[in-house]
Amino acid sequence: MKQNTDLPNNHETTQQGAQQLEKSSLGGGNFWSILCVIILGAFIILAIGGYAFNWTWTGFRGNTLWNWLQLLILPVMLAIASIWLTRRPQWQKQWTILLIIIGIVFIVLVIGGYAFNWTWTGFRGNTLWDWLQMLVLPIVLTITTAWFSVEQVTIDHTNRPLTQTSETKEVVNRE
């Protein structure tokens, strides 16, 4: 039986579709990037106004670093996990350096907050239990998100479910 060579095979079609999807999502991604920058800019303006110009209607004045950490740790960790898991980047040396710097700054802030009574940190008076309440939920949710993402069933171009086996690796390597 003669094969029709004019039609692309499934592998070529899958690659072309993935490339078109990537191109279209990049264009749509610019909108979301711009929107996020606008929202972040507005938030920074409101925070500066609340602290520096005493805009009491913002409710920012009087909040400490502890309050900001309670507000931001969960969404930031989940956003980072989501980006990390969808893009699957290779670990880079710069990220290790960034994590070390963040760790050092955090340690300095904790020591300053407790030992030198830096009141703006809001750390003094918080117990180990308070720290666990603030940190455990974001860590557990981030790890759970990562675990479910890794354990997700992969589908190849024939729509057969594949588990994470050598067969999956073969399909991924072919593409």
Taking 50 as the pLDDT cut, the residues of the chain under it are 4, 7, 10-11, 24-26, 153-158, 168, 171-172
- Give buried/exposed letters for 61-94 (b at 16+ CB in 10 A, else e): eebbebeebbeebbeebeeebeeeeeeeeeeeee
Q: What is the pTM of this model?
A: 0.62
Confidence at residue 107, expressed as pLDDT on a 0 to 100 scale: 96
Cα 96 to Cα 55: distance, rounded to the nearest angstrom = 39
Spell out the residues 6+ positions from residue 145 whose beta carbon is closer than 8 angstroms to its own: 78, 81, 82, 85
Confidence at residue 40, expressed as pLDDT on a 0 to 100 scale: 92
What is the helix (H) or strand (E) element at residue 161, kind and residue range?
Answer: strand 161-162
Q: What are phi and psi of 154, to 5 degrees?
A: -95, 140
Confidence at residue 82, expressed as pLDDT on a 0 to 100 scale: 78
Confidence at residue 30, expressed as pLDDT on a 0 to 100 scale: 87
* Residue 131 structure tokens: 């720290």
Confidence at residue 67, expressed as pLDDT on a 0 to 100 scale: 94
Q: What are phi and psi of 156, to 5 degrees?
A: -90, -175
Cα 170 to Cα 157: distance, rounded to the nearest angstrom = 13
Report H helices in 53-92. Answer: 65-87
Confidence at residue 139, expressed as pLDDT on a 0 to 100 scale: 87
Please, are residues 78 and 141 in contact by the beta-carbon 8 Å criterion? yes
Q: Is 104 exposed, middle or buried (0-12, 13-18, 19+ CB in 10 A)?
A: exposed
Cα 138 to Cα 75: distance, rounded to the nearest angstrom = 8
Confidence at residue 155, expressed as pLDDT on a 0 to 100 scale: 44
Confidence at residue 169, expressed as pLDDT on a 0 to 100 scale: 52
